[in-house]
Structure 1
C-alpha cells in the first residue's frame, strides 16, 4: 500500500419499500445473464486509487480538482482511479442539480472522457447528474470510462436516500431523482467490477446479486455519506460487504463541508476480500487519494478456502412454520 498526495443513527425503512427493492433485485437477477469471465485474473496486481474530495456548486472548480488528482495519480502509477458520488457538482439549493443535468454524451461528461484518454487511465465516476425521464428529475448515475475515453458502462442508482437523519436534516432524493432498475457488472483489466452508489450500501441483496449472479470481484461504492451516518456505519458496512461477497471494495467518499447546508463524512478506503482495510487517506477531510495494489489471486484464494458459493441456501428452499 502507498499513499499519494493528497457519513450513530437508526434509519428505519418502510417494510413495503424494502420488499419492493428486494422484488426488483430478484427480477433483475432472473433476467440478467450470468457471466463467468474473470478479466485480469492471471495478470499481475493492478494499482488503483480512491479519491477523497469536497465538491462544490461549481462545475469548473470540481473538474479542476478531478483533473489535478487524475494527473497526480497517473504519475504514481495508478491505472484505475475512483471518484466519489456527485464528483462534478453539489448544489446549495434545491433544483440546482436538475438545471445542470445532462445526457451522458453531453459536454460535462465529455471533459471527463477526454481526461481519461489523456491520462491513459480508467475512471470510476460515481453519482453523475444524468438527465432524467422528465424536466423535474435526473438519474444518479455511476459512469465507468476506460483509458481510451470510452464509456464502458453506466449504472443508475437503485436505492434512493429518503430519510430524516436524527440531529441532521431531511433528505428526500426521490423528489428530484428517478431510481434505476438494472444491476450492472462489467469486465475490466482490474477484474469484474460491480457498480453501486452510496445508499445502495445498506442493501446487501444488491451486493449478493453482483457477487453470485454477476461474478463481481471488485465492488465500487462511490458515496457522499452524511457525517452522522458515516460516523455510525460507513466502515462497518463496507467491511461487511467485502467479507460477505469475498470481493475487494473501493469506496470513494465526499468529505467535509460543501456549503452551509451539507456536510459529508469522508474516509475514502479500499478493503480486501478478507475485510481488511488496505488503503485510506490519513484523515477524513483531505482532498487527495490513497493507492493500493489489488491482486485478483487473493479473491480466488479467499473463495477457495471459504467456499460460501457452494454452501449458500436460498429462501425458496427454506421451510417456515
Structure 2
C-alpha cells in the first residue's frame, strides 16, 4: 500500500459573492487496487466538501493504474458496472459533483477500452461522458515507449456541459497538446472552465506541464483545472504531479505545495473575472473564421 501525506490548499479569495463558486482538484498516486484508490478518493471528497467545493476533479486513471500490460483491460467495465456505480453513490451521499477523468470503460471487444472522462452530478447521475480523442503514442526521450492506441479506442466527440461551477470543457491528459480542441470548447461550445485530468510522465511534465496549461488558459480566457497523478505507481511507472488551478488571465491561483503529495487544492471560480478578461481582451471578436485561412493559402 502507498501512503502519502494529505494536504488541502486554499486560495485567499473566500468572498461570499454570488459570482464565486468553489472548485477542488485532487492529486493522488493510484495503484492497481480498486479498493485502495476508492478509499483515497472518498477521503479527498470529504475534504472537498468540508472546504465548500461544489465539484471535485480527479486525475486520469483515478480508479486504477495497472502494474503490467493488459491489467487495465482486465478490470475495464461499462459505465453501469459496479466500479462507476460506487463513485456515483459517493457523489450522491456527499452531495457533490465528481469529475472522473480517465475511467477504463469497457470497449467493443476484450482487447480495447475507452479512456473516458465521466461527469457525475450531486444526485449520483452521470451527466456527461467524454472519450479521449488524442492517443498517447509516444517514444518519450530518455523514458518509456507508450502506445495507447494499441488498447484504447479514440473518441470522436467534443463535450461541454453545464454545472454548478460554470460551463465545463471536458478533456483528458494528452489532449492538452492540441490547442484546436480547446479553441472549439471555448468559441463553439462556450466553455468557461476547462478540465484537464492527467497522468503526465515525469519527463514531459517537467518540460511542458505548466507551460501548456497556462497557454490553454490564456488563449481561451477560461479557468483551467488540472488534476494530476503523482509519484511512483509501481516499479515501471511514475507521474509528474503538480496539480494546478489557473485563472483566465493565465495566473496560477492554486497548487499543492508538494508536487507529489496526495491531497486537494481549491479555488473560487469568479464569473465576473471571466467576463472582465474577455471584455477587455475581446479575442472572440478578432478571431478569423476557418474559411479565412483557407482563402489566403495558395
TM class by shorter chain equals: over 0.9
Task: Give the distance between the partners of 2:189 and 2:52, measured in 1 at CA.
Answer: 29
Cα deviation digits, residues 167-188 of structure 1 (max 9, x gap): 1100000111000000000011
**Secondary structure, aligned partner of 1:4:** strand
Report the counterpart of residue 65 of structure 1 in structure 2. Answer: 40
| Residue of structure 1 in register with 2:144 after alignment | 169
Q: Please report how far the alpha carbon of residue 297 of structure 1 lies from its aligned counterpart in structure 2 after TM superposition.
A: 1.4
Normalised to the residue count of structure 2, the TM-score between the two structures is 0.93
Shift of residue 123, structure 1, vs aligned partner: 0.6
Aligned ranges for residues 149-168 of structure 1 at < 5 Å? 149-168=124-143
In the alignment, the residues of structure 2 paired with residue 198 and residue 204 of structure 1 have an alpha-carbon distance, to the nearest angstrom, of: 12
SS in 1 for 2:161: strand
Asked if 1:44 is matched to 2:19, the reply is yes
Say which is worse superposed, 309-318 or 192-201, in terms of deviation: 309-318
**Unaligned ranges ≥5, structure 2:** 1-6, 11-16
Task: Show CA shifts across 1:40-89 (max 9, x none).
Answer: xx943111111110000000000000001101211121111000000000
Counterpart in the other structure of 1:21: none
Q: Aligned runs of 1:4-83 on 2, under 5 Å? A: 4=8, 43-83=18-58
Tell me by how many angstroms 1:316 deviates: 2.0
2:104 is paired with a residue whose SS is: strand
> How many angstroms does 1:273 deviate by?
0.2
Aligned partners of 2:290 and 2:118: how far apart in 1?
Answer: 33
Does 2:128 correspond to 1:124? no
Distance 1:256 1:314, change over 3 A: same
Distance 2:9 2:263 in 1: 5
Which residue of structure 2 lines up, in the alignment, with residue 268 of structure 1? 243
**Corresponding residue number in structure 2 for 1:320:** 297
Say if 2:249 is the partner of 1:245: no
Equivalent pair of 2:30/2:64 in contact (CA under 8 Å): yes
Q: Which residue of 2 aligns with 1:13?
A: none
Do structure 1's residue 204 and structure 2's residue 208 form an aligned pair? no
Is 1:101 matched up with 2:76? yes
Question: Aligned partners of 1:125 and 1:43: how far apart in 2?
Answer: 26
Kindly provide the CA deviation profile for residues 239-276 of structure 1, in whole angstroms up to 9, marking residues without a partner as x. 00000000000000000000000000000000000000
Using the alignment, how far apart are the partners of 2:192 and 2:9 within structure 1?
Answer: 27
Among 274, 279, 300, the alignment partner of 2:254 is 279
Q: Secondary structure at the match of 1:82?
A: strand
Indicate the residue corresponding to 2:13 in structure 1: none
- Contact 2:47–2:264 under 8 Å retained in 1: no
Query: Structure 1 residue 5: deviation in Å?
Result: 6.8
- Structure 2 residue 203 is matched with structure 1 residue 228: yes
Distance, in Å, in 2 between the alignment partners of 1:5 and 1:101 is 33
| Secondary structure, counterpart of 1:65 in structure 2 | helix
Q: Is the 8 A contact 2:139 2:146 kept in 1?
A: yes
Q: Which moved more, 1:290-299 or 1:264-273?
A: 290-299
Paired residues in the alignment total 284
